[in-house]
Amino acid sequence: MSYTLLVNKSHPLTSSYVPPCLAEAHIPFDTSAHDEKTLMEKTAAKAAAKLFHQAASDNITLMGVSGYRSYKRQESLYRNALARSSSAVAPPGTSEHQTGLALDISCASLNFELEEAFAYTKEGKWLKTNAPLYGFILRYPRRKEHITQYPWEPWHIRFVGKTLSLYLSLTGLTLEEYHQMLSNPRGNL
């Protein structure tokens, strides 16, 4: 599996795509045990466990809300969102959760909800600073919505590996900009 895999509205996954090595992410989740949301791609799950362990060592309590999400589950969430006239849910095939590399995180002060206010909590600030050290990026940053085509989500992290996460964090590039840079070696973004 390529940890640099780009998944978005222009680069969807097929309905049959399932990550090759899903494993339980040994982190606290706001859901019952053995729910598909507690799964992640094996290497990403190990990195998430290390991230959460360090958070606990720093007296930061993070809670996993959603890891892996099958195409079928995303389809159901999308249909429900459309019925509520909400555009906040990605169409099936375009969610990074289907890769097993994405993880939504929240905290007790927000009742484990996924809200922009997470960015201003001590947990959100800690995550933004420390996620790249464990191979994760904040996938949908503020003021990059026109590039990612998704709203700002300070709770959504994506495993890309430590080298790339540090590079993207230091440069402020999104995964889309990184892929564009690879396809245009002259560096004209």
Helix boundaries (H) for the chain: 42-57, 71-83, 122-130, 145-148, 162-171, 175-183
Look up 153 and say whether it is catalytic.
Answer: yes
Does residue 89 contact residue 81 with C-beta atoms inside 8 Å?
yes
Catalytic residue among 75, 153, 176, 177: 153
Does residue 52 contact residue 46 with C-beta atoms inside 8 Å?
no
Output DSSP code: residue 29. Answer: B
Bridge partners, residue 157, by sequence: 103, 138
Known catalytic residues are 153
